[in-house]
Amino acid sequence: MDESAAGKDGAWPGGIAAITLFVEDLGETRRFYGEVFGLPVVFEDENSAVFRFGETLINLLKVTEAPELIEPAIVASSEAGARFQFTLGVQDVDAMCEELRRRGVELLNGPMDRPWGIRTASFRDPGGHIWEIAH
């Protein structure tokens, strides 16, 4: 492989540098991420707010700005249904669920033990994106 097409360490594929989530209400979603995840905004303008999850940037982008990024594909509505979920590892799923509830988060499910050997719980952000905590 041509090294200019590879990641900074030469490997393809490398880690995911950024994920852009399309959101209807940037202000509410930005507040949610700040309060629920306890992360500072690393960049923001009138159309987006960016948070750092380890080595990955999560870019919250107003849905009105999304078409120019992905055309000719179309932006699906938040009511179209979930097509993915993000998973964050935690030491104690039950304790994190209690903390999430204190932060005003309504769980979709869990905590529960899964047949594949992990304990999980899931919740939704204001844009409809699904987040799972797992141990």
The verdict on domain 77-135 having CATH code 3.10.180.10 is yes
Fold equal for 1-75 and 77-135: yes
Is residue 105 within 8 A of residue 36, CB to CB? The reply is yes
What is the spatial order of strands in the sheet that 107-113 belongs to? Answer: 85-89, 130-134, 119-124, 107-113
Q: How many CB atoms lie within 10 A of CB 97?
A: 19
Helix, coil or strand: residue 87: strand
When computed from its CA atoms, the radius of gyration of the chain, rounded to whole angstroms, is: 17
pLDDT in tens, the chain (135 residues): 445 455 556 677 888 899 999 999 999 999 999 999 999 999 999 999 999 999 999 999 999 999 999 999 999 988 888 888 999 999 999 999 999 999 999 999 999 999 999 999 999 999 999 999 999
Alpha carbon distances (Å) from 100 to 74, 94, 95, 113, 123: 33, 10, 9, 18, 9
Q: What's the rounded Cα separation, in Å, for the pair 117 and 111?
A: 13
Domain boundaries, the chain: 1-75, 77-135
pTM of the model: 0.84
Closest CA to 33 of 21, 41, 42: 41
Report the top-level CATH class of 1-75: alpha beta
